[in-house]
């Protein structure tokens, strides 16, 4: 072992050394259907107005640390109830990190059903907090008895519920979510990253519990590059979390772009409506293929299992044909044999289906 390796191993915490960095594959030249992005560019009719707004941003000054104007706009655009507060993050990833940094203390743990969004577990590990994963049922519903048992045994400081869930695409039963909320001693974060495609939300219920937080992001609605996540909930929690947030976490260009986008939300909603309709078409196409099992989705992606060939081989063939999807096979368990495709433009979806037929 070289000298530097010894020094690294001696100083960096073992749980971090044993992690793999979040891997983002190179998608150059490929039809990119791996990351739940909106395939449509910034609406053309809004471009001149947006660039004009950006041209007026004083980038020689620090951003407004509290992003006050943007928060006010978001509050009404997202229907945040009276009495709830907002915290903004550099993507919802940063909000998860802020939450876990604030809650990590000896004896505290985080809990989520699995499979789910991998960053809950990863960030918990990074901040030195034990993470309890509770298997979903075979149909990807919450396992109410298993959740109850795990919550009673571990008394988690926070439970994350992705609603709809990634990568399975389903909305959990509302009564199951409410049971988790009733049975949890700590915070319950309902992560509504895919809200634009879901048709249900717990936002209006924020006032009903003092332990519920609802998280949103602009990422899936055409603004992934801006990095803006929103956490809504009781002010008493958010005031503490705000102390963990770095002062200028939302840069000026993001604040100005998001404010402009929120003021012109209809153009982005039109894109989401298109994606919702195309999701149903894509699901219909997938269910027609022999050797493929697809799960219905309330998000902008579809989970499917390839049963006639090894998933790694199908993934590689798709990639050779110029289509990048997400390969979940290595996660094993209920995701063995599974790939996940993001809904693209109609042309991209057609290219994917054609390539999948060849690959099978
Ligand atoms: N929550 C869920 C459930 C997600 O799937 C994702 C993105 N894959 C995120 C949060 C992170 O989104 P953001 O871009 O806001 O960090």
Whether residue 351 is predicted with pLDDT greater than 70 in this model: the reply is yes
> Rounded distance, CA 217 to CA 96, Å?
12
Query: What percent of the chain lies above the pLDDT cut of 90?
Result: 96
State the distance from the centre of ligand 1 to the C-alpha of 30, rounded, in angstroms.
22
CA of 115 to the centre of ligand 1 (A): 14
CB atoms within 10 A of CB 14: 8
- Tell me the average pLDDT across 2-30: 90
Cα–Cα distance for residue pair 328/304, rounded to 1 Å: 10
Six-digit token pair at 266? Answer: 């209809």
Q: Which tokens in the block code for residue 237?
A: 């929690």
How far apart are the CA of 308 and the centre of ligand 1, in A?
A: 31
302 - beta bridge partners?
A: 341
pLDDT tens digit sequence for 95-111: 999 999 999 999 999 99
Ligand 1: does its nearest atom lie under 6 Å from the Cβ of 164? Answer: no
**Sheet of strand 158-162, all strands in order from the earlier edge strand to the far edge:** 84-89, 229-234, 212-217, 187-191, 158-162, 110-114, 131-135
Q: What is the C-alpha to C-alpha distance for residues 272 and 314, in angstroms, rounded to an integer? A: 28
Give pLDDT tens digits for 262-321: 999 999 999 999 999 999 999 999 999 999 999 999 999 999 999 999 999 999 999 999
Instruction: Determine whether 188 is exposed, middle or buried from the number of CB atoms within 10 Å of its CB (0-12, 13-18, 19+).
Output: buried
| Nearest partner of 356 among 271, 265, 296, 288, judged by Cα | 288
- C-alpha 336/C-alpha 306 separation (Å) is 9
Q: Whose alpha carbon is nearest atom 6 of ligand 1?
A: 193
Is the pTM value of this prediction over 0.80?
Answer: yes
Q: What is the pLDDT of residue 207?
A: 85
Q: Is 93 in the pocket of ligand 1 (CB under 6 A)?
A: yes
Atom of ligand 1 nearest to the CA of 162: 3
- C-alpha–C-alpha distance, residues 37 and 15, integer Å: 30
Q: Answer whether the bond into residue 164 is a cis peptide, omega within 30°.
A: yes
Q: Residue 151: its pLDDT value, please?
A: 98
* Domains of the chain (ranges, CATH numbers): 3-43+267-359 (3.90.1150.10), 58-264 (3.40.640.10)
Q: How far is the CA of 324 from the centre of ligand 1 (A)?
A: 19
pLDDT tier for residue 1 given thresholds of 50, 70 and 90: low
Q: Is the CB of 116 under 6 A from ligand 1?
A: no
% of the chain surpassing 70 pLDDT: 100
Q: Which residues pair with 88 in a beta bridge?
A: 230
Where do the H-state alpha helices sit in the chain?
Answer: 3-11, 14-17, 47-55, 68-77, 92-103, 118-126, 144-154, 174-183, 235-244, 252-263, 265-288, 311-320, 346-359
pLDDT grade for 2, boundaries at 50, 70 and 90? confident
Render 168-227 in DSSP notation, one character per residue.
T-PPPPHHHHHHHHHH-SSEEEEE-TTGGGTS--SGGGGGG-TTEEEEEESGGGTTGGG-
Q: Give the pLDDT confidence of 142-160 residue by residue, as tens digits.
A: 999 999 999 999 999 999 9
Residue pLDDT, tens place only, 213-263: 999 999 999 999 999 999 999 999 999 999 999 999 999 999 999 999 999
In degrees rounded to 5, what are phi and psi of residue 358? Answer: -65, -40
């Amino acid at each position: 072992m070289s000298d530097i390796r010894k020094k690294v191993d001696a100083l960096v915490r073992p749980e971090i050394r044993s992690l793999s960095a979040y891997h983002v594959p190179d998608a150059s030249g490929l039809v990119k259907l791996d990351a739940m992005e909106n395939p449509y560019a910034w609406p053309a009719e809004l471009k001149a107005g947006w660039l004009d707004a950006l041209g007026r941003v004083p980038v020689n000054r620090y951003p407004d640390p509290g992003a006050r104007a943007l928060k006010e706009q978001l509050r009404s655009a997202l229907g945040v109830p009276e009495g709830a507060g907002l915290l903004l993050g550099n993507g919802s990833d940063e909000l998860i990190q802020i939450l876990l940094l604030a809650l990590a203390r000896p004896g505290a743990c985080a809990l989520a059903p699995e499979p789910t969004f991998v960053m809950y577990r990863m960030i918990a590990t990074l901040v030195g907090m034990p993470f309890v994963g509770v298997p979903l049922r075979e149909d990807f519903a919450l396992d109410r008895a298993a959740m109850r048992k795990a919550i009673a045994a571990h008394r988690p400081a926070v439970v994350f519920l992705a609603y709809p869930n990634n990568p399975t695409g389903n909305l959990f039963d509302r009564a199951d979510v409410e049971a988790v909320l009733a049975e949890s001693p700590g915070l319950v974060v309902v992560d509504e990253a895919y809200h634009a495609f879901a048709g249900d939300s717990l936002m209006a219920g924020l006032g009903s519990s003092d332990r519920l937080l609802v998280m949103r992001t602009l990422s899936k609605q055409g603004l992934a590059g801006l990095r803006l996540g929103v956490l809504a909930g009781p002010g008493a929690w958010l005031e503490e979390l705000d102390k963990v947030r770095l002062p200028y976490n939302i840069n000026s260009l993001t604040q100005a772009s998001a404010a402009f986008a929120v003021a012109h939300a209809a153009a982005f909603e039109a894109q989401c409506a298109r994606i919702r309709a195309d999701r149903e078409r894509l699901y219909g196409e997938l269910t027609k293929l022999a050797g493929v099992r697809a799960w219905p989705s309330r998000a902008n992606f579809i989970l499917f299992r390839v049963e006639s060939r090894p998933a790694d081989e199908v993934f590689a063939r798709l990639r050779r044909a110029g289509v990048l999807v997400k390969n979940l096979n290595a996660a094993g368990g209920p995701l063995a044999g599974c790939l996940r495709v993001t809904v693209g433009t109609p042309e991209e979806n057609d290219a994917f289906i054609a390539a999948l037929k060849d690959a099978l």
